[in-house]
Structure 1
Amino acid sequence: MNVSADIRALVQRRKAGHSLEAPFYLSDEIFALDMEAIFRQHWIQVAVEPDVPEPGDYVTVELGQDSILIVRDDDMQVRAYHNVCRHRGARLCNEDKGTVGNIVCPYHSWTYKLSGELMFAEHMGEKFDRCKHSLKSVHIENLAGLIFICLAKEPPDFAPMRAAMEPYLLPHDLPNTKVAAQVDIIEQGNWKLTMENNRECYHCVANHPELTISLYEYGFGYQRSPANAEGMEAFEQTCRTRAEEWEAMKLPSAEIERLLETTGFRTQRLPLDRSGESQTLDAKVASKKLLGRFEQADLGGLSFWTQPNSWHHFMSDHIVTFSVIPLSAGKTLVRTKWLVHKDAREGVDYDVKNLTAVWNATNDQDRALVEYSQRGAGSSGYEPGPYSPFTEGLVEKFSAWYVRRLAEQIGA
């Protein structure tokens, strides 16, 4: 791939253990490289299976110049296609979501089955071969209800992440949930700042009073000192005790950390504070109808991070998913979905305001932090600063993963 000498030099001189140089957050040229090297070559989490519960249900996802159509077919399989008619390239589905019987182009009415085959194209003559004009498929993987797509001709191997994560995710039975709420926010910041902010909780105590109600202070990295040694030991003992209980219930909890692999991911189940059941303002369940076959509410919080664009929190009563989509060098979409059991009744089993309160507040606080960082990166006084080895190790692994992918793409 042709890139400028300046970009090549930036990639080559990246200093481990430090934040990235300013152009990584500001440059339109690097943003274009990000879209090609990252978002066109890797597995991107874009949806959940309950987004398309019935045949004909669809959602559209915009990745740079590409619009992707995700639809459930008549055999209940979730499929992904380029949202482009094979006639003259018109956009097929122009809403964020909807329901169709067949996929019909609004321009000349070329009509496709949900399985992608062209079934009707008027006035094309006897020699026209419909079989050569099916919709162009996009690689898709369904990981226990989380939908990933990849635009590459040859996508990275998904099997290792599936093998590791299915035992953790399947007990929460995401396919038998429903989307109780979705909130899209636009952050005026680079997508990497959004991801870096997510990968650490150094900032949590000072900035997230709602979130830290249910999170142990020591749960995401801390420097041990005489002042906190007793508290850290108590937390570690709680983790060991609860892990034994969960393992006996066939709920895996041990940390898996493979963030530097091509299809990078990490997971861990941790206890919630205050005898916590869920990530709510009182640490109690937000939905009375528990997920899957759960009969016990205090099952901790299972966190799942993927490179490059998602994180998720699985609890006994609900699931929160986050998908990050770059819009420009300085603008990022953060899409949050809250899922509850498909039979849970709004106003009876759960209240949407209570369900969403913690992460609506946290997302808004994080948006402000990302925007502070974006503005700071544009200052002549900015230079890469050192990561904390105790609380920002996952930020370093995200940055190292990212720079390695760019280097592979440009041959640096």
Structure 2
Amino acid sequence: MSEVQIQTHRELIDSRKKGHGMPGQLFGRQDVFENDVDVFFHKLWILVGVTADIPEPGDVHTVDIGKASVIIVRDDDENVRAYRNVCRHRGSRIMKKAGKASVGMLVCPYHQWTYDLDGSLKHSTHMGNDFDASGHSLIPVHVKTVGAHIFVCLADEPPADFEKLETTMAPRFAPYDLTRTKIAHEMEIIENGNWKLVMENNRECYHCAGTHPELTNSFLAEDFGFCPDGQSEDALQGYEDYLKRNAQSRENWEKDGLVCAAFESLDESVDTNFRTQRLVIAGANESQTMDTKVACTKLLGGVERRDLGDVHMWGHHSWTHVMSDHAVIAYALPLAPDKTVVRTVWLVHEDAVEGVDYDLKKLTEVWIATTNQDAELVANTHAGTQDPAYIPGPYSNYTEAPLDQFARWYDAKLKAQGV
């Protein structure tokens, strides 16, 4: 009996047909998963939280990323800092579990080595007079905030092209003053699928009409592609109406100095993969709610108009929707080849009061339903890709072009790292 030849990660990537999905083993194999974590989550900028996770000095938010763990801290000067969650003595985790806490200092639970919020070692007993505490500060992690988003990079030298995301998104987020927000609700769900399938699902709305009745009440799937072939006269007229409404909304917004145009940095040459656009919302054009009107009457920042649509941003593992009344920010972190944690937060103005300024059910019902529906879709797709009968099919050039683009970018980033 001949031996079965196991393809390398590179051979699997190279076997993908242009314009087609990825081979199933790229979603299911442990070695592929480990390479993915190393390249896409340990070497690139990743979203790990929001500024409202750490609103006060001494607040910390701990995030696990593969075998790595990062502590996000608000220091005494209200700066956002990040450190490796590793004691400089014998390596114990300082924060024993992921999540939020409030501390005066960072104390290792093993031998009580104590660190200030600036990372410096302040207390260590039985080390002798010749011990140099200054050489044992916590290991810093590169950190940047963009609007409410907290990004970190675990690499020694982070990708410099992140500056493009900062300069592009700053004017788009500015009217909403997202640092002056609080978390109205948060949701964490483990999806039974590979992180790449989570992101493929997020980057297309081909599936939306049949699976997301709550989302499509306000979200226009045509924003992400429309194929006129074989469509009815009513459908074609509907698309023409959509184009006219988009043009009118954009003209109206731009008169107020709002940035609207799509901007993409998605090709193989970039490290920081992102896209943004101000999208029209159906109906009242106010918010992603069931009636398309604001769920929170206390609008974000200095915003006075309710009908500002949706400032949309996606990254290689995250997605954001900012409306006049609230923001929805979500990110995916890989746990295993077939497990991905997705965290979603709903932000409102820091002074908004539940039951007075906003109704929590109205605020959250669209994206709670959509997230649960997506989890089922991802799990079902992951299971199918692991079936021996699976053969990757073609992407739609009209509605799934970003998936082929993502696959090419994935290929290029791994190749750059020698995979």
Deviation, 1:276, is: 2.6
**Distance (whole Å) between structure 2 residues aligned to residue 397 and residue 292 of structure 1:** 35
Segment of structure 1 superposing worse, 245-254 or 225-234: 225-234
Which residue is 1:173 aligned to?
Answer: 177
Deviation, 1:23, is: 0.7
Which residue is 2:30 aligned to?
Answer: 28
Which residue is 1:272 aligned to?
Answer: 281
Provide the TM-score with structure 1 as the length reference.
Answer: 0.97
**Distance (whole Å) between structure 2 residues aligned to residue 315 and residue 371 of structure 1:** 30
Deviation, 1:370, is: 0.3
In structure 2, stretches of 5+ residues that fail to align are 1-5
Deviation, 1:380, is: 1.0
C-alpha distance after superposition, 1:358-386 (max 9, x if no partner): 01100111111001101101111101110
Match of 1:7 among 1, 6, 9: 9
CA contact (8 A) 2:55 2:74 kept: yes
SS in 1 for 2:8: helix
SS in 2 for 1:305: strand
SS in 1 for 2:222: coil
CA gap 1:217/1:325 in 2 versus in 1, 3 angstroms: closer
CA contact (8 A) 2:225 2:398 kept: yes
1:197-346 matches, within 5 Å, as 197-225=201-229, 227=233, 228-260=235-267, 261-307=270-316, 309-346=317-354
Are 1:164 and 2:191 matched, yes or no? no
C-alpha distance after superposition, 1:126-147 (max 9, x if no partner): 1100100000001111112211
Deviation, 1:35, is: 0.9
In structure 1, stretches of 5+ residues that fail to align are none
**Distance (whole Å) between structure 1 residues aligned to residue 112 and residue 195 of structure 2:** 37
Runs (4+) of structure 1 moved beyond 3 Å? none
Which residue is 2:41 aligned to?
Answer: 39
The AA in structure 1 aligned to 2:193 is G
Provide the TM-score with structure 2 as the length reference.
Answer: 0.95
The AA in structure 1 aligned to 2:277 is Q
**Distance (whole Å) between structure 2 residues aligned to residue 168 and residue 394 of structure 1:** 22
1:385-396 matches, within 5 Å, as 385-396=393-404
SS in 1 for 2:41: coil
- Number of residue pairs matched? 407
**Distance (whole Å) between structure 1 residues aligned to residue 149 and residue 181 of structure 2:** 12
Which residue is 2:193 aligned to?
Answer: 189
Deviation, 1:331, is: 0.4
CA contact (8 A) 2:13 2:22 kept: no
**Distance (whole Å) between structure 2 residues aligned to residue 284 and residue 41 of structure 1:** 40
**Distance (whole Å) between structure 2 residues aligned to residue 386 and residue 5 of structure 1:** 22
SS in 2 for 1:84: coil
The AA in structure 1 aligned to 2:388 is S
Are 1:143 and 2:146 matched, yes or no? yes
Segment of structure 1 superposing worse, 392-401 or 362-371: 392-401
C-alpha distance after superposition, 1:321-371 (max 9, x if no partner): 011000000000000000000000011111222211001100111111001
Match of 1:129 among 105, 109, 132: 132
Deviation, 1:102, is: 0.8
The AA in structure 2 aligned to 1:253 is C
CA contact (8 A) 1:259 1:306 kept: no
C-alpha distance after superposition, 1:179-218 (max 9, x if no partner): 1111000011101100000000000000000001112242
SS in 1 for 2:417: helix
The AA in structure 1 aligned to 2:287 is S
Deviation, 1:265, is: 0.7
Deviation, 1:258, is: 1.1
SS in 2 for 1:38: helix
SS in 1 for 2:182: strand
The AA in structure 2 aligned to 1:242 is S
Deviation, 1:5, is: 5.4
The AA in structure 2 aligned to 1:333 is V
Give the alignment's Cα RMSD to 1 decimal: 1.2
Deviation, 1:74, is: 0.6
Deviation, 1:11, is: 2.3
Which residue is 1:48 aligned to?
Answer: 50
C-alpha distance after superposition, 1:46-71 (max 9, x if no partner): 10111101100010000001110000
Which residue is 2:3 aligned to?
Answer: none
Which residue is 1:398 aligned to?
Answer: 406
CA contact (8 A) 2:54 2:73 kept: yes
CA contact (8 A) 1:252 1:269 kept: yes
**Distance (whole Å) between structure 2 residues aligned to residue 69 and residue 294 of structure 1:** 33
Which residue is 2:109 aligned to?
Answer: 106
Q: Percent identity, aligned pairs only?
A: 47
